[in-house]
Amino acid sequence: MPSHDVLIIGAGLAGQRAALAAADAGASVAIISKVHPVRSHSVAAAGGINAALNPEDSWESHAFDTVKGSDYLGDQDAIEVMCREAPDEILWLEHAGVTFHRNGSGHLGTRAFGGASQARTYYVADITGQAILHVLYEQLMKHHEQVDRYEEWFTTTLLQDADGGCSGCVARDIRTGRLEIFNAKSVILASGGAGQAFRPTTNALICTGDGIAQAYRVGAPLMDMEMIQYHPTTLAENGFLITEGARGEGAHLYNAQGERFMERYAPNKLELASRDVVSRAEQTEINEGRGFPDGTIALDITKVPRKRTLEALREIVNIGKDFAGVDITREPIHIKPGMHYIMGGVKTDVDGQTPIPGLYAAGEVACVSVHGGNRLGANSLLDTLIFGRRSGEHAAARARGVAMPKAPAAVLRDAQGEIDAILARDGAGRRVSEIKTELGETMNQYVAVFRDAEGLSHALEVVRRLKEEAPKAAIDDKGSVFNQDVLAAIELGYMLDVAETIVLAAQERKESRGAQFRTDFPERDDAEWLHHITVSRGDDGAPRLATAPVTITKWQPQERTY
Amino acid sequence: MAEYTLKLRRYDPQSGEAPYYEEFQVDLEPHRSVLEAILKVRGEQDGSVGIRCSCRAAICGSCGVRINGRAGLACHTHLDHAATSGVNADGRTILVEPMGNMPVIKDLIVDMDAVHWKKIQRVTPWLINKQPVPEREYVVPHENMVDVTQTMACIQCGACVSDCLSMEVDPLFVGPAASAKAYRFVGDPRDAEQYERLKDLAEDPHGIYDCTHCFNCIEACPKGVAPMSQIMRLRRVSSADHEIEDRNNGYRHEHAFVKNIRRNGLLHEADLVPDSYGGKLHPRAVPELISSLPTVVRGLQRGKMTPAKALLHQHKAPKEVKRIFDVIEGRDQRLELNLYISGTEDDESEAQA
Amino acid sequence: MKVAYWPGCVSRGFTPELHGSMAAVAPLLDIELVELDRASCCGAGVIAEHNQELADTLNARTFALAQQVEGAELMMNICSTCQGAQSECQERLDANGEYRAHVNETLAAEGLSYEKGLTNKNFLWLLVEEIGLDALRAKVRRPLTNLKVGPFYGCYIVRPTDRLGIDDEHPRDQYLHQVIEALGGTVIDYAGTYKCCGFPIITMNKEASLKQAGRHLGDAMDAEADCLVVPCPLCHLNLDLQQPVAAKVVDRELAMPVLHLPQLVGLALGLDPKQLGMSKHVVKPTSVIDWTTAVVAAPAAA
């Protein structure tokens, strides 16, 4: 039975960074991932990572941009921590080997990004997430004696001790089907977002909200669940992401009439306004009939010099060619807003701690909150690394004062029972993929850029109906070697739990702020609504809504224009 | 919409049965990917079909498979192209098998740890910092970083390893992915052990000189990493910049060939083999020459080679050829054009640029 | 048609039967060969490995010499390796005007200059794209009926596909199949068709090199081919000259004749094995010779 000081679930940027930090602090560390670590969705992050490293820049400026970007819902103490620590993190990454872009003098170079008052986004072509993730994995390979890696292990349950603290997890070795108890003094959830609850989404198939649901199920509160980011530039058919870096390099948005419409919505920042502003602008153009017949807007990257595109936007040249049949250096590519990121998640403090002793969360799975109602581009990579590191350090320190838990073997029997129940289903129900499709289409229709009470109510009905249906969903594979069917059934349960909390929070906030826009409550109302909405599972199993205050340090809420 | 027949290689390790092929009919638009078709089959017809997949956008590297015998990413291959490529194409059938050179776990899922990752780990795949580590960032010329981005772009999908022909006959060959990873460090000015890395891979009998130069990895790679080109760069840096004369005859063969053309304008095969071992009378060459004797004799018997021709091959313009060698080898710095970095000129626009 | 003809090194060295058979076949196809006898070795990829600019310049010189041949429609080579090595150099030369100008500076002393866009085709491509399969079929005097031929392309002429202009309109990686059929032969499907003969590592890892050759020859035998046909003399060396040694490496008896492409074409056009230099092969192409004599002794009258 593996027993470690720090157990990390999820091996994207936050998880791997936490592992390295905890190992550095002398703790015994295990990291579990349901896919090989380099397949984690962090790998798809493209544009870059923000930091006020430039001497002419200041962390206060970065922090203010973030606060404003969050539509004043972000907790300013956490934002200060993140922005203050960002420059050192960039240098740590660079020393570890990340191949950050260099300017003409050989120093770190920046590009412009959305919502930023000055260029402070450090990058590697348009594969920044991949470059950092692979370098972190290189470091994990280097530290293989200090960090035990459990690659392709699926976590099914979080364990709790008699006092309600988190004491580890049960995970299944995907290759053999064998279940194992992982004891740990502290557990860090780093399992990412829940994009697959929407269809389409930019998110990978593995983004099924596992950690959010698992935390929710052991009683940890979720926060800001209504804040779902729709990224302005995604391919219409399959939801694939076209990085904000394109706009950072100078690309323009045009409607079907050839108008550069952002001049009307954000006269100063234009295409580089914050994402919610741009997405709403695009959706309005489309809804009001100025979009193209397929419901899209044109992103014109031909404005960027061709040589620069080939050097700095190579990945989207490939995406354009392979997935849209377009040469972006010669013609515009058609895009529309698409579900991309969840600002909400498991509520934590600035060290990643949840109210459950021993349970931490970092990265997209968590809500500190640094992003509030809307996340700025290139702040997510930063978020994962800063809070991944902090959680790792804090969890390692905590381990010194805590005894190693030992879960009883009965726990395994229970977990196996759940798997067996899935395998024993009679097959009469609808297939997992059908239920998932209905969930995704419903969420994308009623819980998207523009929402209203009627739509949200309908969405909640559908989600609840699907929740009833899910335990009977049919699967085909009864084997134990690499049974992806069973995992899909478990993931469906996670997605439905998460979807329910999203809809409830959206219904509760009768206001428009950040990414949440209610056509029935179109104004921001600081007097009534300047607070977070939390959702927790009550003892009776039903969701309970509450509020949490927004921490304000330096920046009083103002009107937000770009 | 169009109808496609997906012919998938199935293998259930728990059944005790041998692998078999199963056909599925699927209806999808021709520009959709093979992965979408497989997921449609999994979602609607048979949930036990095993394939690794995640991002669907050719960045995570999970869905490496062999389509019609050639390795690539399933999410990156369009149905219409897959159904019409290859000698046996019928416009509708698409053969999908697991990647090669690696043990199969189930269906289209292979054990990458056993082969791919083992070889990656073999090349010490982490930066060994050049000392002293600066307080801020290392100063690195812009072009250097762009150059290394080519190998950094590798998503570890395994397609190159799958189709590597050297690895097929020599499973111990370090392989294209690991070699590209090695170049990621050799080409990074912040790494302190360029010489050590090269010496290690040059001296290894299954190292960089074991590559049979077949281009399969370049063809298979979905990201333009061009592993074989990286192997050639490793050889170039090893032999030209560090003069590493390996035990595998790699260095000697390269120099023997170059010397041969410089002197003769055309290849004189008879000189090439012994010179690759060190010279006609070199102790290393003698056993090779002796073992080659039967082959030489056969050649002479057939009238393929005549002693006169073998030794007195004459070229019409030896001085002109030699002059080119002198000019270029006399330069202070090697000039190398990497199209990954410079791109291909556009006829209309770059003429003015 | 007139072509600027680059015969390569090995066809005039260790595989003279290739040079001879090409010379014999050309007039039958109305091809006038103007030999580029001042051109140098293409480098076979080895010179490029050593110094890219050197390989690019040597080949730019060859291209410039070809462009000087009055009335030549294109440059033709008879070696997969030359095709691949030269295409790689040409790709760089054509991609960048500044680089090309720099290379031309070196050539200037000889009064030579390479102009972007040369057409360089292997004899195999020329047969299909310039002469055409229909025209080829019409010239056949001794159809290769019942001759089972295994195609072996050679790596350098089939990969990478984009550099070699292989696409739906030019399925160059199927031309050898098409030519065999146009000549009346039967194409044998076997595992080695697009694999590597191993020649590039013959001095670095002889065992791995000949294991490859041995396996492909063995697979062809298992598929009951009468012979292989290859458009590359380097492949021919590893598959024919080294066949007895390869047999030892793979520990099985091998007896697979290997023909050069012009030899196969020549047979079908009515020439005899002796005229085509087939007696120079190490592996006696007995099956082919028997087949030739078994068919009508003299080819059908024109």
Tell me: do B213 and B95 sit in the same domain. Answer: no
Helix, strand, or coil here: A489? helix
What element of type H or E holds A230?
Answer: strand A228-235
- Tell whether pTM > 0.80: yes
Closest-CA distance of chain A to residue B165, Å:
26
* Separation between Cα atoms, residue C228 and residue A227, nearest integer Å: 66
State the pLDDT confidence band at B347, using cuts at 50, 70 and 90: low
Helix or strand run (H / E) with residue A360: strand A359-361
Query: Which pLDDT tens digit goes with each residue over C211-262?
Result: 999 999 999 999 999 999 999 999 999 999 999 999 999 999 999 999 999 9
Inspect the interface and report whether the beta carbons of B324 and C58 lie closer than 8 Å. yes
Do residues B80 and B126 both lie within one domain? no
Confidence at residue A321, expressed as pLDDT on a 0 to 100 scale: 86
List the one residue out of B252, B258, B297, B300 whose CA is nearest residue B279. B252
B194 and B130 within one domain: yes
Which residue in chain A is spatially nearest to B184 when comparing CA positions?
A99
3-state SS track over A51-84:
CCCCCCCCHHHHHHHHHHHCCCCCCHHHHHHHHH
- C12–B295 CB contact, under 8 Å: no
Shared domain for B237 and B117, answered yes or no, is yes
Residue C241 carries which DSSP code? I
For A189-215, give one letter per residue: b (16+ CB within 10 A) or e.
bbbbbbbbbbbbbbbbbbbbbbbbbbb
Same domain, B193 and B274: no
pLDDT digits (tens, 9 = 90+) for A120-140: 999 998 899 999 999 999 999
Least Cα distance to A480 among A176, A153, A181 occurs for A176
Interval B177-189: pLDDT, tens:
999 999 999 999 9
Cβ-contact A422, A182 below 8 angstroms: no
Q: Is the pLDDT of residue C63 over 90?
A: yes
Using CB atoms, pick whichever of C9, C52, C57 lies closest to residue B267.
C9
Q: Which residue of B has its CA nearest to C103?
A: B328
Flag whether B261 is in a domain.
Answer: yes
Contact B304 C280 (CB under 8 A): yes
Say yes or no to pLDDT of B353 above 50: no
φ, ψ for residue A78 (rounded to 5)? -70, -40
B347: Cβ–Cβ under 8 A, 6 or more apart, which residues?
A: none
Q: Is 50 exceeded by the pLDDT of residue C269?
A: yes
- Could you tell me where the beta strands, DSSP code E, fall in B99-189? 104-106, 109-110
CATH of the domain at B74: 3.10.20.30
Residue B288: inside a domain: yes
**Which residues of A are annotated as catalytic?**
275
Q: Please count the structural domains in chain B.
A: 3
pLDDT exceeds cutoff 80 at B311 = no
Mark the ranges of chain A whose per-residue pLDDT is less than 70. Answer: none
Is B335 inside any structural domain? no
- Which of A209-213, A505-509, B308-312, C135-139 is least confident? B308-312
- What residues in B contact C160, CB-CB < 8 Å? 215, 218-219
Residue spans of beta strands (DSSP E) within A391-541: 531-537
- The answer on B122 and B235 residing in a single domain is yes
CATH of the domain at B133: 1.10.1060.10
Per-residue model confidence (pLDDT) at position B352 = 39
Residues of chain B with C-beta less than 8 angstroms from the C-beta of A433: 42-44
Which of B17, B116, B145 to mutate to test binding with chain A, by most A CBs within 10 Å of its CB? B145
Sign of the dihedral through C-alpha A348, A351, A352, A354: negative
Does chain C reach chain A with at least 3 CB pairs under 8 Å?
Answer: no
The verdict on a CB contact (< 8 Å) between A38 and B53 is no
* Distance from chain centroid for Cα B23: 32
Beta-strand relationship, C2-6 and C32-35 = parallel
Same domain for B224 and B138: yes
Which of A347, A371, A384 shows the shortest CA–CA distance to A216? A347
Considering the domain boundaries, does residue B350 fall inside one? no
Task: Based on the fold, state whether residues B96 and B132 are members of the same structural domain.
Answer: no
**B293-305: average pLDDT:** 82
Residue C299 has pLDDT above 70, yes or no: no
B27 assigned to some structural domain: yes
State whether residue A38 sits within 8 Å of chain B by CB: yes
In a domain, B336, yes or no: no
With a CB-CB cutoff of 8 Å, which residues 474-533 of chain A face chain B? 475-477, 479-485, 488
Quickly state the pLDDT bin for B312 (edges 50, 70, 90).
low
Peptide bond into C244 cis (omega under 30): no
Length of chain B: 353
Parent domain of B136: 113-241
Q: Does A99 touch chain B (CB under 8 A)?
A: yes
- CB of B304 within 8 Å of any CB in chain C? yes
Contacts of A266 (CB under 8 A, 6+ apart): A273, A277, A278, A281, A561, A562
Average pLDDT over residues B117-126: 98
Please identify, among B110, B142, B162, the residue that sits at the C-terminal boundary of a domain: B110
Is the distance from CB of A12 to CB of A41 less than 8 angstroms? Answer: yes
Closest Cα in chain C to B239: C50
- Domain co-membership, B154 together with B91: no
CB contact under 8 A, C244 and B298: yes
Chain C neighbours (≥3 Cβ pairs under 8 A) are B
- Tell me, yes or no, whether B275 and B257 share the same domain: yes
In a shared domain, residues B74 and B124? no
Same-domain check for residues B94 and B128:
no
3-state SS string for B82-100: HHHCCCCCCCCEEEEECCC
Confidence of residue C210 (pLDDT cuts 50, 70, 90): very high
Within-domain flag for B343: no
| Domains parsed from chain A with CATH numbers | 3-227+343-399 (3.50.50.60), 232-338 (3.90.700.10), 410-518 (1.20.58.100)
**Tens digit of each residue's pLDDT (9 = 90 or more) over A13-59:** 999 999 999 999 999 999 999 999 999 999 999 889 999 999 999 99
For residue A321, the SS3 value is helix
B342 located within any domain: no
Question: How big is the CA angle at A559 (ends A554 and A562), to the nearest 5 degrees?
Answer: 105
Beta strands C258-260 and C227-230 are: parallel
Could you tell me the CA-to-CA distances from C167 to B85, C159, C170 in Å, in that order?
Answer: 9, 12, 5
Rounded CA separation C198/C246 (Å): 11
d(CA C287, CA B12): 44
Which tens digit of pLDDT belongs to each residue from B95-114?
999 999 999 999 999 999 99
Q: Among the three residues B215, B241, B267, which one is the final residue of a domain in this structure?
A: B241
Instruction: Compute the distance between CA of residue A111 and CA of residue A128 in angstroms, rounded to an integer.
Output: 12
Strands A345-347 and A333-342: unpaired
- Give the model's pLDDT for residue C296: 44
**Can you read off the two tokens belonging to residue A90?**
């960039």
Of the partner residues B169, B298, B344, the one whose CB lies closest to the CB of residue C282: B298
Name residues whose C-beta falls within 8 Å of residue A478's C-beta, 6 or more positions apart in sequence.
A423
Give the DSSP H/E element, type plus range, for residue B202: helix B194-203
